[in-house]
Structure 1
Amino acid sequence: MRIAIIGAGMAGLSAADALTAAGHAVTLFDKGRGPGGRMSTRRMALPEGAADGTEVQFDHGAQYFTARDPGFAAAVEGWAQAGVVARWPVAGADAWVGTPGMNAVIRAMAAAHDVHWGTRIDALVADGAGWRLTGAGEAQAFDAVVIAVPAEQVAALASPHLPDLAAAAEATPSAPCWTMMAAFPEGIAIPADTIRDAGAIGWAARNSAKPGRTGPEAWVVQGSPGWSAEHLEEDAPAIADALLAELAVHAASPLPPPLQLTAHRWRYARSGGHGGAAMWDADRRIGACGDWLIGPRIEAAWLSGRALANRIIDAG
């Protein structure tokens, strides 16, 4: 079959890997400008004359992932052999990160597929026994459609065709997250490389201490779910200052003025967990996968994509 996958994150690409291996022709569409999604890496220019290079990078989405399912663990070992992931024991004995940034995994997976970046799909239109996608530029016909986006974005696409799928997505909202990124001209006096569940801070990490990273001292600070929700509509500069102040509480001496300071708002950061691995209507050839079905982990997204692909393959 010719299969369209809306969303080229971990779930969509996992499904694409399995479907392609089974002989299907897969095309992926993603509204993002490039590989990453919630595994994004942000790169920012440093002021002229900075001692540690010309740019700094931050993993401002997912910070690490674990691999406990045997199938996912095998995939991770393959990525390790390819040099796109490495262990990060600071976050846990089974913690992994992408190298040189978290988006390296998505970039490597996407390289094997036909991915249309910067392409927002607005609607699905039934076309005989197949589907057309609107918003994809030139009209294309597909035999089947996979929706692999956050739950909040599923309903608009699915509700005209699969109201049960839309209802399941609407019942599984994501928690938001404000993320602050700061680079410093020197190391700051915080001995640990991570901070967890401390006031407004849900997670903070010395990003520059992760394997394969270069550049100056760099920190990522993620607000707790409650704090992020409370301040969701505030301006990014105010959020950056507030989370920088929270980080300063943990330092033994005043923080130096940052070389770079910014904040990013993730409206759909931590997924819910609806139950079940994937949803598929074999008659209409449309389904959904994503971490929102299983739980808020990168591994869950991979497992959901693989589960949906297997259902499509088994249906013939």
Structure 2
Amino acid sequence: MRIGIIGAGMAGLSCAQTLRHQGHNVIVFDKGRGPGGRMSTRRIDTPLGEAAFDHGAQYLTARDPAFVAQVERWAQDGHVARWSPAGPGAWVGTPAMNAPIRSMASGGDVRWNTAIQTMTYDGKWRIRNERFDAAIVAVPAEQVAPLVTAHDVALADAARSAVSDPCWTVMAAFDGTVPIDRDRLTDLGIIGSAVRNSAKPARTGPEAWVLQASADWSRAHLEDDPKMVQRALLAAFADHIGTGSPAVIATSVHRWRYAKVDASNHGAIWNADIRLGACGDWLLGPRIEAAWLSGQHLAEFVGSTNRAVSKQHL
């Protein structure tokens, strides 16, 4: 089949890879400028050189045997490395968190800078004036319903029932080492997580920290001015550091409206009658592993449908 996938995050690319292995012709559309999504890395010029920040997911873990095997392959290819500050089972992308996504995207047809607002169905799916035998949505739950309501009410309702926590993130580069003896801290008042990004494996550049606000604080201040958010998180971090803090030499702020989802246990959803599917962490769990597994589950559903159709034709 010719299959169109909307969303080039971990779930969409996981599904795309397996579908291609099954022999399908797959095209992936994504509104972003390049690989990353919630595994993105932002780079900022500073007086001390370029600073890098993994401003979305900070690390990943692997429990399911299939994902463990996938992570081991990434490690062999140099795309991930272990990161002990988050625990013995934690991994980070190298040289940036988006390295696994970049590797997955490189093997197929991915159309960047391509936002999809609607799709139509008349026996075939039409996405941006291209026709497909099947369509898959691999975007955050809040973005699923507007795309599929006209075609599958049950799928749209399932997406609406999934609620994501927001997260304000402040990235800060310093002109010296922040005097804290750990590279990852949690629950610092309004700061849910503080990570010394420059200490992760294969990182270069000046001292760089990623400060992520708690879900409650982010929700309460969701529409605040980014400069106010920056001042609040930097002040909270300075209070924790105490005296002797180095100077901030560069900053950036990012608001994740859909950061961590309260997931269902569907795994993935596939409507074989109209060949419409959905995958993503909102269908399995708020982890990178869950997003990858959801994409795998959906590819299996699609493959089963295709085999059944082939038998009928025989």
CA contact 1:248–1:254 (8 Å) conserved in 2: no
2:294 match: 304
| 1:254 shift after superposition | 3.8
Distance 2:124 2:29 in 1: 17
Decide which of 247, 250, 257 is 1:257's aligned counterpart.
247
Q: Tell me what 2:310 maps to.
A: none
Equivalent residue, structure 1, for 2:2: 2
2:51 aligned counterpart, secondary structure: strand
In structure 1, which of residues 82, 85, 106 is the aligned counterpart of residue 77 of structure 2?
82
In the other structure, the counterpart of 2:185 is 195
Query: What code does the residue aligned with 2:185 have?
Result: I
Which secondary structure does the structure 2 equivalent of 1:250 belong to? helix
Partner of 2:98: 103
Shift of the alpha carbon at 1:40? 0.3
- 256-265 or 204-213, which deviates more: 256-265
1:151 matches 2:146: no
2:231 matched to 1:236? no
1:259 & 1:31 partners in 2: Cα distance? Answer: 31
Q: Percent identity?
A: 57
Q: 2:113 aligns with which of 98, 104, 118?
A: 118
Q: CA RMSD in A?
A: 0.9
> Could you tell me whether the CA contact under 8 Å between 2:174 and 2:250 is conserved in 1?
yes
Whether contact under 8 Å (2:177, 2:246) holds in the other structure is: no
Residue 205 of structure 2: SS of its match in structure 1? Answer: coil
Matched with 2:124 is: 130
User: Matches of 1:188 and 1:281 in 2, distance apart?
Assistant: 52
Residue 250 of structure 1 deviates from its aligned partner by 2.0
Any stretches of 5+ residues in structure 1 without a counterpart? none
**Structure 2: 5+ residue runs without aligned partners?**
307-314
Shift of 1:262: 1.9
- Alignment check: 8 A CA contact 2:126 2:132 kept: yes
- Give the partner amino acid of 1:25: N
**Separation of aligned partners in 2, 1:201 and 1:182:** 14
CA–CA distance in 2 between the matches of 1:240 and 1:195?
A: 18
Deviations 1:53-101 (A, max 9, x none): x311100000000000000011111100110100001101100000011
Per the alignment, residue 216 of structure 2 pairs with 226
- Give me the TM-score of the superposition, normalised by structure 2: 0.96
Report the equivalent of 1:272.
262
**Structure 2 equivalent of residue 213 of structure 1:** 203
Would the aligned equivalents of 1:236 and 1:262 in 2 still touch at CA under 8 Å?
no
Q: In the alignment, does 2:157 pair up with 1:162?
A: no
For the residues of structure 2 that align with 1:122 and 1:276, how far apart are their CA atoms? 25
Does structure 2 conserve the Cα–Cα contact (< 8 Å) formed by 1:190 and 1:252? no
**Superposition map of 1:25-36 within 5 A:** 25-36=25-36
CA contact (8 A) 2:176 2:247 kept: no
Q: Distance in 2 between matches of 1:169 and 1:254?
A: 48
Separation in structure 2 between the aligned mates of residue 191 and residue 247 of structure 1, nearest angstrom:
14
Aligned to 1:24: 24
Of residues 55, 62, 65 in structure 2, which corresponds to 1:67? 62
User: Is contact 2:166–2:257 with CA below 8 Å preserved after alignment?
Assistant: yes
Deviation at 1:252, TM superposition (A): 4.1
Name the amino acid aligned to 1:132: R
Question: In the alignment, what sits opposite 2:45?
Answer: 45
Deviation at residue 190 of structure 1 after TM alignment: 1.2
AA aligned opposite 2:184 = T
- What is the rounded CA distance, in whole Å, between the counterparts of 2:9 and 2:137 in structure 1? 11
Aligned length: 306
Tell me the secondary structure at the aligned position of residue 241 of structure 2: coil
| Paired residue type of 1:6 | I
Q: Which amino acid aligns with 1:65?
A: L
Could you give the per-residue CA deviations for residues 291-315 of structure 1, whole angstroms, max 9, x where no partner exists? Answer: 0011100000000000000000011
AA in 2 matched with 1:75: Q
